[in-house]
Structure 1
Amino acid sequence: MYKLMKKFKPIVSLLLVLLICVSPIYANDYPNKDITIIVPFNAGGGIDISSRTLVMELQKLFPDISFVVQNITGASGTIGAEELFNAKPDGYTFMAAGNGFNVSSVMGVFNRSVEDYEMVAQYTTSQLGLYVRADSPYQTYEDLIEAARANPYGINMGTLSATMNHYAILAIEHANDVNFKHIVVGGDQTPQPELLSGRVDAYVVAVSQNTSYIDSGDFRCLGVFSTDRVASLPDVPTFFELGIEDDFQLTFGFWAPPGTPQDVLDTISDAIKIVCEDPTFQNTMHGMGYLSGHIGSEEYAEVMANSLHTVQSLADVLDTSQEIDPYVGAFGLPNFILGALVLMFIFKGFTIVFVKKEKLKVTIFEPFKGRPAVFFISLIVYALVFDTLGFIISSTIFLTGNIIYLKSSTKQLEKKDYVQALLIAAVFSVVVFIFFTQGAKIILCSHLGKPKGEAKPELSLAPVAASLSKHLGIDVKFANDDTVTGAETKAMADSLADGDVMLLQNTRYRV
C-alpha cells in the first residue's frame, strides 16, 4: 500500500499544481471583500455610464463580493483622484478615469500625473465630436468657422475646462485662426443642458455621451475627431478630413493607488479582459457610442504615458492663455498673486488676535514694519515647498514661523507660546483644507439654481436611467442614499422584478 501511494505521489502533486493554476481568477483569496470604484464625476457622464456598465458585468465574475461605485466629484475630477492616491493599496479601491487627466496635469489643475498611479487596464475608448443644436444656423463645420471669422468671440463655445474636449476646441481655433468665447459648462461632465437651453452655441463632447440626443433629433454633429468615420455617424466628416490631424481620442480605464501589487492589477485586468471580449458587452458599448477594447496593465501604462507626452507637445502649440475660469487651477489670475493677497488678509486677522492685546496699532504690514523682507521671503519659500510638502504641512510650517515672529516682536516667548503657535497653525491649516475640499463644494452647490424666491432645481437622474434602460434593454432605477434611507433602499431592491437593475450611489447595499 505504501509503495502504491509512493508511486502515485508525483501524479497527485501534479494534479494539485494544475488545480491551483486553473482556479478562479481571484486566486490567493483575492478579492474577499467589497471593492470600491471611484468615479470622479457625477452620474450621467461618459466615465460614469461606461464604468457602471463594466461593473455590472464584473459583478457576475465575482458573485461573492460587491462592486460599490462612488461618485466623488469636484475640481475637474481631481478630488476623486486625490482620494484614490491616498487610499490603501490593497486592491479594494480603484478609480474609473480617462486620459483627460493628462490635460489637467499639464494645465496645472491637477498637481499629480498618471505616473503617480498604477494603471490597471483600459476597457473602452470614445471619439470626440463637435455638436450644435438641430435648429442651429450652422449646418456644417464650415458654416461655424465662417461665422467665427466674421465675429471673433461671438460664438459661445461650451468648454469642459482642462480636459481633452478643451484641447480639441483650442485645436479648432488654432487650425482656423479663429476665437470662440469660452463658456464653462458641465463641471460634472454632463453639459448637454447647456446646449439644449441655448446658453452655448456649440460644444465638443464624447460621441458616446450624445448618442441619444442625435437619435432624438435634438443635436447635430459637425465633425468627429477620428481618422475613420464613426459607424453611428456615417455622414459626419472626420476632423482628419477637415484638416486637423491631432489625436483627441478618449481612453477610459481603471487606476489603482500607488504601490498596489502587480498580481492584484493582473487579477482585475484579466477580469476586465473577459468582460471586454464578451460579444454582448461589446454590442452594448457600441450601441452607446463606445469602442470596447481591453489593454493590460503594462501596455495601458505606456498608452497613458504617450498620451501625456502628446498633451505636453500640444500645450507648446495651442493657445491656452485666454482661459475661462478664475477659480480653477492656472486659469485667470495667477495663483501666486491671488494667494499672496489671501495670505495678507489672513495675517491681518492673526495680528488682531495676537498683537492687539498689547494695544499696538495694527495694519496689514505693521508687524513687519522695518523688516518687510521677512514676510516676502517666507512667502517665497512657502510657494517653493508647497508642491513637495503639500498644503497642510507647508501651511502649518509657514504660519507657525510667522506667528512666532509676530509674537516675539511684542514679548519674550516661553515654551508654551511655541506650542500654542504650532497648534493654532496646524488646526487652521486642517480646517482650511477641509473647507476647500468639502465645505466649499457644499456651500456653492446650495446656492446654485434659480433666483431667490424660486424653487431650486434638483438633479434628475431620470434621463440617465431612461438612456441606460434603452441601451441595455432592462429597467434601470437610481437610488441615491443622500435622499433615501438604507431601509427604503433595501425595500426598493426587494421590489425589483427579475432582470431589473438599481444603481446605488454611495451605498453599501448589493442587489
Structure 2
Amino acid sequence: MYKSIVLGVVLGSGLISSVSAQDYPMKNIDLVVPFAPGGSVDVTSRLIAEAANQYLGDVKVVVSNRAGGGGIVGQNFVANANPDGYTVLAMTSSVVTNPQLKGAPYSIEDFIPVAAYNLDPEVIAVPASSPFDTIEDFVAAAEEDPLNMAVAGIGTSHHMSGLALTSSVGIEFNYMPAQGFGEQLQAVVGGHADGAFWPMGEAMVHAQAGTVRILAVASDARDANFPDVPTFEESGLGIPVWATFRGWAVPRGTSEESVTFLSELLKQVYEDEKYQQKMTDAGFDATYRDATSFQSLITSYTDQVVPIIEDNGLAR
C-alpha cells in the first residue's frame, strides 16, 4: 500500500498536486543540523520543520543538533546512517570543503541531494564611512595595496571567496578571522577592517540600517532589495556565482522514492506563504531547487572551490 500525503497549494480555485511514497514515512524524520542551536542552519531548519509538519499527519520532522568539528560530527553521522529516508542532513557547502580542509572521513559522494531551500550569495561589504563608494573604487584600492577584510575564519567559504578574487582578478587581501559575525561586524563598523566578505543574509539588515554598504553581490542576478548593487560578474570580477547553499541531503543508498517524497515536501514548504514570510523576517531568501538543480549547484561550487584549496595549500 502507498501512504499518501497531500502536497498541494491553494491557487485560486483549489488544491493541486499530491505525492505518494510506499509506506513512507511511517515514523518521525530526523533532520540533523550539524551546528549548534541558534545559527542560520538551525533557524532555517526549524522554520522548515514547523511548515513541513502541517503536511505530514501523524509523523513529524524533528530537528536534532549534532554540532562539532565545524559540521563534521553531524555530517559524518548522516553519512553513516541507515539509508532508509528517516535521517536527513541539513546540508551546507561545508560538506564539500570539510573533507579537504579538515580531513573529514566522508566525501560529497556519500550524500544524495534532495533539494536546496536557501542560497546565500557572498557580498563585499564596507563601512558606511568607507571611501569606497563603488566596487570599482574597492578594486582600484586593492590593486595598490592589500585590503584588510573580516572573514568568519580561514578556510571558510567567505575566506575562499577572497582567494577566488585573487585568482580571477589578481587583487590581494589581508584576512582578519573572527569568532562570530558580531565580532566581524564590530571590526567593520568600527573601521578596524576595510571591509568584509559576508553572506547576504547576514549583511542585509545592517546595510538596510545604514551601518555598512554593499558594493557587489556574487549572484546570477541583482538582489531585489539592493537593485543598484551590481553582481560580481557585472563588476568584471570573473565570478558568476559564489553562494553558501543550504538544503537537504540523505545518505547514499536512500531510495529514489524517499528522495522524491522529501523533495516534494520541501517544494510544498517553499510554496507556503507563511513560511516565506517567516524566512524573510529572519533575513533569509526562501528558494527551491529540486534534486537535479541542487546537484548542479553542488558540482559548480565544488569545481570552483577545490582548486582554490589546493592552490593555496589549505588541504590536509
TM-aligned CA deviation for residue 108 of structure 1? 5.4
**Partner AA of 1:219 in structure 2:** V
TM-aligned CA deviation for residue 149 of structure 1? 4.0
CA pair 278-66 structure 1, distance change in 2 beyond 3 A: closer
The one-character-per-residue Cα deviations of 1:10-39 (angstroms, maximum 9, x if unpaired) are xxxxxxx9xx58665565443233322122
- Listed as ranges, the matches of 1:181-196 within 5 Å are 181-186=174-179, 190-196=180-186
The one-character-per-residue Cα deviations of 1:180-211 (angstroms, maximum 9, x if unpaired) are 2223234xxx5243222446442222212222
Aligned with residue 92 of structure 2, among 91, 98, 106: 98
The one-character-per-residue Cα deviations of 1:204-231 (angstroms, maximum 9, x if unpaired) are 2221222222232232212101232110
Counterpart secondary structure, 1:228 = coil
- Structure with the largest fraction of strand: 2
CA pair 96-103 structure 1, distance change in 2 beyond 3 A: same
Q: Look up the match of 2:36.
A: 42
Q: Look up the match of 1:230.
A: 223
**Partner AA of 1:292 in structure 2:** T
Aligned with residue 154 of structure 2, among 155, 161, 180: 161
Please tell me whether Structure 1 or Structure 2 has the larger radius of gyration of its CA atoms: 1
Q: Look up the match of 1:256.
A: 250
Q: Look up the match of 2:123.
A: 129
1:64 aligns with 2:31: no
Counterpart secondary structure, 2:125 = strand
Of 108-117 and 215-224, deviating more is: 108-117
Counterpart secondary structure, 1:260 = coil
Of 251-260 and 303-312, deviating more is: 303-312
Q: Look up the match of 1:203.
A: 196
Native 8 Å contact 1:57 1:275 kept in 2: yes
Question: Deviation above 6 Å: which 4+ runs of structure 1?
Answer: none
Structure 1: unaligned runs, 5 residues or longer: 1-16, 324-328, 331-511
Where relative contact order (Cα < 8 A, 6+ residues apart) is larger, the structure is 2
Distance 2:307 2:253 in 1: 29
TM-aligned CA deviation for residue 299 of structure 1? 4.6
Distance 1:104 1:242 in 2: 30
TM-aligned CA deviation for residue 47 of structure 1? 2.6
The one-character-per-residue Cα deviations of 1:419-468 (angstroms, maximum 9, x if unpaired) are xxxxxxxxxxxxxxxxxxxxxxxxxxxxxxxxxxxxxxxxxxxxxxxxxx
Aligned with residue 170 of structure 1, among 163, 174, 185: 163
TM-aligned CA deviation for residue 268 of structure 1? 1.4
Distance 1:315 1:82 in 2: 21
Distance 1:22 1:83 in 2: 29
Native 8 Å contact 2:150 2:178 kept in 1: no
**Partner AA of 1:275 in structure 2:** V
CA pair 208-302 structure 1, distance change in 2 beyond 3 A: same
The one-character-per-residue Cα deviations of 1:232-277 (angstroms, maximum 9, x if unpaired) are 1112121112112322133321111232222222221121111223
Distance 1:171 1:299 in 2: 23
Q: Look up the match of 2:14.
A: none
What is the aligned length? 299
CA pair 228-205 structure 1, distance change in 2 beyond 3 A: same
Query: Equivalent pairs: percent with the same residue?
Result: 27
Aligned with residue 235 of structure 2, among 242, 246, 250: 242
**Partner AA of 1:79 in structure 2:** V
Q: Look up the match of 1:113.
A: 107
Native 8 Å contact 1:195 1:201 kept in 2: no
Q: Look up the match of 1:479.
A: none
The one-character-per-residue Cα deviations of 1:59-99 (angstroms, maximum 9, x if unpaired) are 11124233322232233322221121122323222111123
Structure 2: unaligned runs, 5 residues or longer: 7-18
**Partner AA of 1:33 in structure 2:** K
Q: Look up the match of 1:292.
A: 287
- Structure with the largest fraction of helix: 1
Q: Look up the match of 1:320.
A: 312
CA pair 58-236 structure 1, distance change in 2 beyond 3 A: same
Distance 1:179 1:310 in 2: 18
**Partner AA of 2:63 in structure 1:** V
Native 8 Å contact 1:132 1:195 kept in 2: no
TM-aligned CA deviation for residue 57 of structure 1? 0.8
1:275 aligns with 2:272: no
The one-character-per-residue Cα deviations of 1:328-372 (angstroms, maximum 9, x if unpaired) are x63xxxxxxxxxxxxxxxxxxxxxxxxxxxxxxxxxxxxxxxxxx
The one-character-per-residue Cα deviations of 1:141-168 (angstroms, maximum 9, x if unpaired) are 344344434443x614324433332221
CA pair 214-143 structure 1, distance change in 2 beyond 3 A: same
TM-aligned CA deviation for residue 58 of structure 1? 0.6
Normalised TM-score (structure 1):
0.52
TM-aligned CA deviation for residue 281 of structure 1? 3.4
